[in-house]
Amino acid sequence: MARFGHLLLRRKEQTGETPLMNTISLDIRSFGADTQHSDNAPFIQKAVDSAAESGGGRVTIPDGTFRSGMIELRSHVELHLSHGACLKSVLEAIPDPLSKAIEPTTNNRRWLIGGIGVKGAAITGDGIIDGSGSDFWEIDPEKEYPLFGQRYWPKFHRPKGLIHFRNSEHIALKDFTLKNAPCYAVWLLGCDGCSLTHLKITAPLESPNTDGIDLDCCSSVTVSGCDISTGDDAIAIKSDIDELGYHKICEKITVSNCRLRTSSCGIRVGYEGDGELRDCVFQDNVIYQSMIGISIMSVLDPENPRGTLIRHGAWIHDITFSDMAIDAEQTFNLQHLKMGGDVLSGKISRIHFKNLDATAHRGSYIGGLRDRKIEDLDFRHINMTLSGHMGSDFCDRIPEPYPVWNDLAYSGIPWGFYFRHVENLTMKDSVIRCEQASGHWQDCFFRSDNVSGQSFSNVSYNREVSEYVH
């Protein structure tokens, strides 16, 4: 599965710039910070507040390991991590009194660095932020979550976003390493005009809910040149207007030149929230050694605890993926999950895939609902290689809804693509092949059920399957 792991990406310069700030420069040691203290948060906060009161400036964390609790970054202040600096979290498990969570595993209003209503702030430098995630996990060898054999389980009240800004503008995150977040590494909620550049984000593949970057109800955000390896979605674009408290469109998101590795989804769009998501571009990225390459999900299964907060589903449209390499168990998973008598207005439409080179061990699933089809899908120049042994579990019938979270118990989709409840499907100039494959891979590269307006042009399927069984 490491076929694309060695690929090097050219790192384009980020179009966003660090916000302009006052020239004042402060060292946290001048405010009492010391590597011997058990918690430097009060001293770092004094430095940040002093810079803000002066109209803005840089607060430097020097070489050394500084333990710290929650820090509120202020407008027009840059927190700079010097070479050799490590800011190590000593956050404690504290309940969130405003939490709407079904299970109190997170505190949405505690973070290591962040703020509400912040403008023109930045976190920069090539130092390290250590989230001390293992303090909030427990290992149970008797339990196994089916994402790369996960055995870490979350304790209650961990901070949801290690770096978290909400209702903020022009936040710049640049150059530092963030490791071992208890939950999400970076969570921006209701933020505009932000840039995330050349970040390295790591967490054990077995760790719970350790998303790399979550952009939630945000607009005009660029993510570029980031290297992410985590235990949950590497990059997630969401629209949780229930958490935000008002309706805000998530739009104009650009993700480019990133390397993504995860035990879940390399890129996920949707899944949590009712807000609209539109006009997002993903280009020149590498996804490798992952469970699902690209996932788009409008409506959750009501049996999922998060699904109980979904009232009508997200409208996800005008999303483009281009010039990418994807090495994952499953390349694409696009679907509605909510079933029954719910009144749904959410949908998935106008999704474009172009110039993608993929390897997978099971076929892709793309399925809407009978009364809420996925619309206007366009695949062009797709080069997909399928390999490995394929069982017979889904040869006769694909479950509805598709078991996206527990499908490892099954062998998977035995075609390159399975389409269900789709309207207007186009695939052009593409190659799907089976190599080093065995078992029940099927004669045709796709199967479709309740699909209208489908068109395939110049698509070839080369099947080399040993021990093939009809």
Residue 326 lies in a domain: yes
- Contact call for residues 26 and 55 (beta carbons, < 8 A): no
Average of per-residue pLDDT across 339-349: 68
Residue 215 lies in a domain: yes
- Dist. CA 186–CA 111, nearest whole Å: 10
pLDDT computed for residue 469 by the predictor: 42
- Contact call for residues 336 and 344 (beta carbons, < 8 A): yes
Longest CA–CA separation in the chain, Å:
75
Residue 9 lies in a domain: no
In angstroms, the first-to-last Cα distance of the chain is 27
Residue 5 lies in a domain: no
396-441 pLDDT, tens digit per residue, is 888 887 877 666 667 789 999 999 999 999 999 999 999 999 999 9
pLDDT computed for residue 463 by the predictor: 82
Q: Of 139-143, 193-197, 452-456, which range is least confident?
A: 139-143
Nearest by Cα to 270 from 306, 242, 297: 297
Highest mean pLDDT among 67-81, 139-153, 343-357: 67-81
pLDDT computed for residue 333 by the predictor: 96
Average of per-residue pLDDT across 190-218: 96
Average of per-residue pLDDT across 315-324: 98
E strands, 336-402, in order: 347-360, 364-367, 374-390
Burial class (CB in 10 A: 0-12, 13-18, 19+), 433: middle
- Residue span of the structural domain in which 345 resides: 24-466
pLDDT computed for residue 305 by the predictor: 54
For the chain, give the number of residues: 470
pTM: 0.91
Q: What is the mean pLDDT of the chain?
A: 88
And the tokens for 409? Answer: 């118990």
Residue 386 lies in a domain: yes
Nearest by Cα to 213 from 238, 192, 190: 238
- Dist. CA 13–CA 258, nearest whole Å: 12
Average of per-residue pLDDT across 371-382: 95
Residue 13 lies in a domain: no
- Dist. CA 240–CA 243, nearest whole Å: 6
Residue 4 lies in a domain: no
Report the Cα 421 to chain-centroid distance in Å. 26
Tell me which of 50 and 143 has the higher pLDDT. 50
Position 11 pLDDT exceeds 60: no
The tally of domains found in the chain comes to: 1
97-120 pLDDT, tens digit per residue, is 666 554 556 777 789 999 999 999
Residue 289 lies in a domain: yes
pLDDT computed for residue 371 by the predictor: 83
CATH number at residue 95: 2.160.20.10
- Dist. CA 243–CA 248, nearest whole Å: 11
- Dist. CA 322–CA 282, nearest whole Å: 6
Tell me the DSSP string of 27-95: EGGGGT--TT-S--HHHHHHHHHHHHHTT-EEEEE-SEEEEE--EE--TTEEEEE-TTEEEEE------
Q: Of 33-37, 302-306, 310-314, which range is least confident?
A: 302-306
pLDDT computed for residue 301 by the predictor: 58
Query: Residue 84: how many CB atoms within 10 A of its CB?
Result: 13
pLDDT computed for residue 4 by the predictor: 35
pLDDT computed for residue 157 by the predictor: 83
280-307 pLDDT, tens digit per residue, is 999 999 999 999 999 999 876 555 555 5
Position 450 pLDDT exceeds 80: yes
Amino acid present at 441: W
> In the 8-state DSSP scheme, what is residue 18?
P
